[in-house]
């Protein structure tokens, strides 16, 4: 007859590496987003992976967030290859949906050289005001008139 008052014998401790492998195997088998995040650089490839991220996995539909419109377009063209790579990696994804979600913060843009160049560009109406081009009488940013003496359209026509 079993004695219910005795403690349950303790199992031997497993090494941490074994526990992590077991956990990772469970993720992969159940189609968890965590496993997808871990495998994403291999699945999406070195060129696309830094510009997009898996957002959610709902049933057999994977939602991918993309940072910029040109990367969204690139991913639209590569959607079938991405779906094939997902299936080859063991994920039972039937459809991939893309969303432009990750925008670069304005603070990051303000610190870049291109943002500084754009802030001082002659075509900025908000900084230089607006006036009429002396050649064609079309409203033009004042910075263009100050820099080139006419609007950019007239300047281009005179160069040709």
Strands 61-66 and 95-100, how do they pair? parallel
pTM here is 0.48
Band the pLDDT of 95: cuts 50, 70, 90: very high
Percentage with pLDDT > 90 across the chain: 11
For every residue of 37-88, DSSP letters joined together read HHHHHHHH-TTTGGGEEEEEEETTEEEEEESSHHHHHHHHHTHHHHHHHHHH
pLDDT at 155: 80
Of 35-39, 76-80, 115-119, the range with the lowest mean pLDDT is 115-119
- Helix (H) / strand (E) element for 13: namely none
Question: Mind listing the pLDDT tens digit for each residue in 124-134?
Answer: 656 667 888 88
Band the pLDDT of 109: cuts 50, 70, 90: very low
């Amino acid at each position: 007859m079993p004695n219910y008052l005795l403690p349950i014998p303790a199992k031997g401790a497993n090494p941490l590496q074994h526990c992590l492998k077991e956990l990772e195997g469970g993720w992969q088998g159940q189609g968890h987003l965590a496993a997808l995040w871990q495998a994403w650089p291999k699945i999406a490839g070195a060129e696309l992976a830094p510009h997009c991220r898996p957002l959610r996995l709902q049933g057999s539909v994977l939602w991918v967030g993309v940072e910029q419109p040109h990367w969204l377009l690139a991913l639209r063209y590569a959607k079938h290859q991405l779906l094939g790579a997902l299936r080859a990696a063991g994920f039972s994804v039937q459809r991939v949906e893309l969303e432009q979600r990750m925008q670069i913060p304005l603070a990051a843009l303000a610190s870049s050289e291109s943002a500084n160049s754009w802030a001082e560009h002659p075509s900025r109406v908000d900084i230089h005001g607006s006036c009429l081009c002396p050649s064609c009488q079309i409203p033009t940013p004042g910075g263009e008139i100050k820099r080139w003496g006419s609007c950019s359209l007239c300047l281009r026509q005179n160069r040709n």
